[in-house]
Amino acid sequence: MPRSTPAVEKLVASRVAALRREVGLTLRELATKTGLSDAYLSRVENGQTAVTLASLEKLAAVFATPITTFFEEEAKPRRLVLCRTGAGRKARFRGRTGTLVELLADEKHAKLMEPLIVDVSSATRPVKPLSHAGEEFNFVIEGRCTFLFGDEKHTLNAGDSVYFDATVPHAVHAIRGEPCRLLAVVTSRDFQVHRNISKVLEERIQA
């Protein structure tokens, strides 16, 4: 006699299926990214087997979303995330002395872009150039700053922008403490990149 599926398992199953469709992955593609078999994932989505915590952690990493997302009621994927002026989640990047940022699309799962408003002058000391996967776009909203890219150094004024390979170490420094804000957009087809950004910010804001 077939077992009845508990409500929580049905919820998790529907969320796994919804997130997979939202990011545009087939079962086979998701299996490759997670290391789980497509047959197992199919049974999970159809409520025929309970998903383990270890499997959920692998799925959360691929979908670039907190594991709690699988237990949240959601009628359909978020096709639109509206962020009102100043309403984005605030965090401090790179520790207590780092830069204040505002996340503009924090509620969107499996993003290909990660848009941030960066308060360059909020860092209490110059941040060290670092690299990450993907590409990045910076647009200076107001003020001016120094943009470091590998061995290059450029002064950016309001209205200036740069688009660059983010695997090259880079950083933005305020000029003599002058106010400066910029829009930064990190782009990557690797959803893990965006999850790592959110994870770092979550850790740092609590530091």
Q: Are residues 110 and 29 in the same domain?
A: no
2, part of any domain = no
The domain in which residue 172 lies consists of 89-205
pLDDT at position 192 is: 56
Q: Are residues 111 and 199 in the same domain?
A: yes
77, part of any domain = no
78, part of any domain = no
Single residue among 45, 71, 97 that ends a domain in this structure: 71
178, part of any domain = yes
174, part of any domain = yes
**Confidence band, pLDDT 50/70/90 cuts, at residue 130:** confident
pLDDT at position 8 is: 82
Q: Are residues 111 and 46 in the same domain?
A: no
Mapping DSSP onto H, E and C, the string for the chain reads: CCCCCCHHHHHHHHHHHHHHHHHCCCHHHHHHHHCCCHHHHHHHHCCCCCCCHHHHHHHHHHHCCCHHHHHCCCCCCCCCCCCCCCCCEEEEECCCCCEEEEECCCCCCCCCEEEEEEEHHHCCCCCCCECCCCEEEEEEEEEEEEEEECCEEEEEECCCEEEEECCCCEEEEECCCCCEEEEEEEECCCHHHHHHHHHHHHHHHCC
Q: Is the per-residue pLDDT at 203 higher than 50? A: no
Q: Are residues 59 and 132 in the same domain?
A: no
Q: Are residues 48 and 123 in the same domain?
A: no
Structure confidence by residue, pLDDT tens digits, 147-190: 999 999 999 999 999 999 988 999 999 998 799 999 999 887 66
Q: Are residues 195 and 121 in the same domain?
A: yes
Q: Is the distance from CB of 29 to CB of 23 less than 8 angstroms?
A: no
Q: Are residues 51 and 23 in the same domain?
A: yes
Q: Is the per-residue pLDDT at 3 higher than 60? A: no
pLDDT at position 65 is: 75
pLDDT at position 72 is: 74
Q: Are residues 117 and 45 in the same domain?
A: no
Please state the φ and ψ torsions of residue 182, each to the nearest 5 degrees.
-140, 155
Q: Are residues 114 and 141 in the same domain?
A: yes
Please state the φ and ψ torsions of residue 48, each to the nearest 5 degrees.
-90, -10
As a whole number, mean pLDDT of residues 74-89 equals 79
Instruction: Please state, rounded to an integer, the average pLDDT across all residues of the chain.
Output: 83
As a whole number, mean pLDDT of residues 90-103 equals 80
- Which CATH number covers residue 41? 1.10.260.40
Amino acid in position 116: L
Q: Is the distance from CB of 128 to CB of 143 less than 8 angstroms?
A: no
81, part of any domain = no
79, part of any domain = no
163, part of any domain = yes
Q: Are residues 137 and 172 in the same domain?
A: yes
pTM: 0.66
pLDDT at position 94 is: 67
pLDDT at position 7 is: 79
- Which CATH number covers residue 172? 2.60.120.10
Q: Are residues 189 and 109 in the same domain?
A: yes
Count of domains observed in the chain: 2
Q: Are residues 160 and 113 in the same domain?
A: yes
